[in-house]
Amino acid sequence: MISTGNDIVALKAINVARTKQQNFYSKIITETEKALYDEQFSDRLAFEQFIWLAWSVKESVFKYLQRVNPELVFSPSKIKLTELELPAAEGVSHFEGRDFNKGAVYESVIDYTPHTFYSRTIITDDFIFSVVNHTNSFEKVMWGIKEIDSTDADDQSKAVRTFALAMLNTFFPESELEIDKNRHSCPIILKDDAEIPVPISLAHHDRWVAYSFALA
Amino acid sequence: MTREETLNELKKVIAPYTINKEMLAGINDQTDLIRDLKINSANLVDIIIDAEAKYDIEIDYDSADKMTNVGSCLDVITEKINQK
Euclidean distance between CA atoms A60 and B55, whole angstroms: 31
What's the confidence (pLDDT) of residue A42?
97
CATH number of the domain that B69 lies in?
A: 1.10.1200.10
Q: For the whole model, what pTM was predicted?
A: 0.95
What's the confidence (pLDDT) of residue B7?
95
The contacts found for A187-190 with CB under 8 angstroms, 24 or more apart, are A189/A213
What's the confidence (pLDDT) of residue A89?
81
Cα distance from A171 to chain B (closest Cα, Å)? 30
Longest dimension (CA), chain A: 53
- Are A123 and A21 in a shared domain? yes
Mean model confidence pLDDT for chain B? 94
Euclidean distance between CA atoms A123 and A23, whole angstroms: 24
What's the confidence (pLDDT) of residue B56?
96
Q: What is the arithmetic mean of pLDDT over B51-66?
A: 94
Residue type, position A102, single letter: K
Residue type, position B6, single letter: T
- Are A17 and A121 in a shared domain? yes
- Put simply, the answer to whether B40 touches A205 (Cβ < 8 Å) is yes
User: If you count residue pairs, one on A and one on B, with CB atoms under 8 Å apart, how many are there?
Assistant: 42
Domain coverage including residue B19:
3-83
- Are A165 and A90 in a shared domain? no
- Are A132 and A57 in a shared domain? yes
Are the C-beta atoms of residues B33 and B14 closer than 8 Å to each other? Answer: yes
- The CA–CA distances, whole Å, from A56 to A12, A130, A171, A191, B20 equal 15, 6, 27, 30, 24
Of A104, A120, A139, the position where a domain reaches its end is: A139
Q: What is the arithmetic mean of pLDDT over B44-64?
A: 95
- Put simply, the answer to whether B65 touches A153 (Cβ < 8 Å) is no
Per-residue pLDDT reduced to its tens digit, B25-40: 999 999 999 999 999 9
Of A115, A139, A163, the position where a domain reaches its end is: A139
What's the confidence (pLDDT) of residue A117?
98
Task: From chain A, pick out residues whose CB is under 8 angstroms from the CB of B61.
Answer: 27, 75-77
Looking at the partner chain, which of A21, A55, A73 has a beta carbon nearest the beta carbon of B42? Answer: A55
Helix (H) or strand (E) holding A78: none
Binding-face residues of B in 34-63 toward A, CB within 8 A: 35, 38, 40-42, 45-46, 48-49, 52, 61-62
**In chain A, which stretches have pLDDT less than 70?**
none
Instruction: Kindly provide the ipTM of the predicted complex, given to two decimals.
Output: 0.91
Domain coverage including residue A65:
5-139
